[in-house]
Amino acid sequence: MRRALTIARTPGVPLGPNPRVGCVLLDADGTEVAEGFHRGAGQPHAEVEALRALGGPATGLTAVVTLEPCDHTGRTGPCSRALLEAGVSRVVYAQDDPFEQAAGGAATLRDGGVDVAGGLLVDEARAVNRAWTFGVEHGRPFVTWKLATSLDGRSAAADGTSRWISNEAARRDTHRLRGECDVVLAGTGTVLVDDPQLTVRDEVDVPLPRERQPLRAVMGLRDVPAGARVRDDHAETVHLRTRDPHEALAGLRSRGRVHVFLEGGPHLAAAFLGAGLVDEVVAYVAPMLVGGGTHAVEGLPVTTITEALHLDVEDVEVVGLGPDRNVRLTMTPRTPRTPRAAGEGER
């Protein structure tokens, strides 16, 4: 199973409406004879890729899969049927498929006489598809809010300058995190004032190829000038003409997006936080005191300490070298989230 999880994470597979899945075929002695992974929506699923790599009958083999084999016909046929027809005698999978329309493969395989076991390394499997699983269960994209702040909670000085509160290592780390998402979202205010490019860039600050870029989403009612950097040809851009975070996420969900990297200003951050739509916070804290200036969050509806939004710290790491090292805090808000009764997803 660990090998299946490894190939499910194969670099270059785009995020999107389909989960990442790996499959390994074993013979009676437990020796690997073939493997495959899903390469994206519309492409053959991992089980079919492994069977193709085998190049012959799978009679008596065991299929080890990171996600319950699907049981429906979408862009591709049901993997449960493909495994049955190939003659696989046993299937071991990690995560139950939360997508209602695709689930049921385990039952179909059992009805066909296959020995089926589920739940092996399920937590690791869910981690591979954290955003996709969240989207199916909650009906919206997973939202990571990133901020860079001084020790006294300022994102910019009194004169509006903000370059650079975070150090170079933190900025590079931000690009790594952007590259793990399929949307980078900012508000029209940030775009008009700062003119960011909102792309993923490499170690020498060159944007990665367009096909590897997340969607750039600009949220707000004001027009974005044609010459704005966010409108260049380095990545696709969509303008979400709304101030409602729920509506914005619904629009991104309809485009098959599963993980939003929120890089808007302090008011946009407050809107998402106030709506309970931030699922992860990544804060780069610089060892500096600015005094006045822009708060990292503006307009959060908190008037007394008992109304404070609490976060659980998941990870703390020092980023960079030398005296200007930053501290990266990864946190999750304690705001309860209500799962959907039935999920949505491509599969």
Look up 47 and say whether it is catalytic.
Answer: yes
Q: Alpha-carbon distance 189 to 41, whole Å? A: 34
The verdict on 88 and 163 lying in the same domain is: no
In a domain, 285, yes or no: yes
The verdict on 50 and 157 lying in the same domain is: no
In a domain, 22, yes or no: yes
Residue 342 has pLDDT above 70, yes or no: no
The verdict on 69 and 95 lying in the same domain is: yes
The verdict on 256 and 320 lying in the same domain is: yes
pLDDT more than 90, % of the chain: 77
* pLDDT given for residue 165 in this prediction: 86
The verdict on 199 and 251 lying in the same domain is: yes
Q: Alpha-carbon distance 302 to 331, whole Å? A: 19
The verdict on 109 and 163 lying in the same domain is: no
The verdict on 13 and 50 lying in the same domain is: yes
* pLDDT given for residue 76 in this prediction: 84
* pLDDT given for residue 160 in this prediction: 76
Catalytic residue among 47, 68, 137, 344: 47
Which residue, of 128, 163, 195, is where some domain finishes? Answer: 128
Which region among 8-12, 35-39, 283-287 has the lowest average model confidence (pLDDT)?
A: 8-12
Q: Which domain holds residue 97?
A: 2-128
pLDDT tens digit sequence for 91-122 = 999 999 998 888 999 999 999 999 999 999 99
The verdict on 61 and 172 lying in the same domain is: no
When pLDDT is averaged across residues 197-207 and rounded to a whole number, the result is 87
* pLDDT given for residue 64 in this prediction: 98
pLDDT tens digit sequence for 124-163 = 999 999 999 999 999 999 999 999 999 999 988 888 777 7
Q: What is the CATH number of the domain that holds 77?
A: 3.40.140.10
Residue 93 tokens read as: 């999978």
The verdict on 288 and 149 lying in the same domain is: yes
* pLDDT given for residue 49 in this prediction: 97
Which residue, of 128, 148, 163, is where some domain finishes? Answer: 128
Residue 343 has pLDDT above 90, yes or no: no
What pTM was estimated for this model as a whole?
A: 0.89
In a domain, 314, yes or no: yes
pLDDT tens digit sequence for 223-246 = 999 999 999 999 999 999 999 999
Confidence of residue 88 (pLDDT cuts 50, 70, 90): very high
Average pLDDT along the chain: 92
The verdict on 44 and 169 lying in the same domain is: no
In a domain, 344, yes or no: no
Q: What is the CATH number of the domain that holds 270?
A: 3.40.430.10
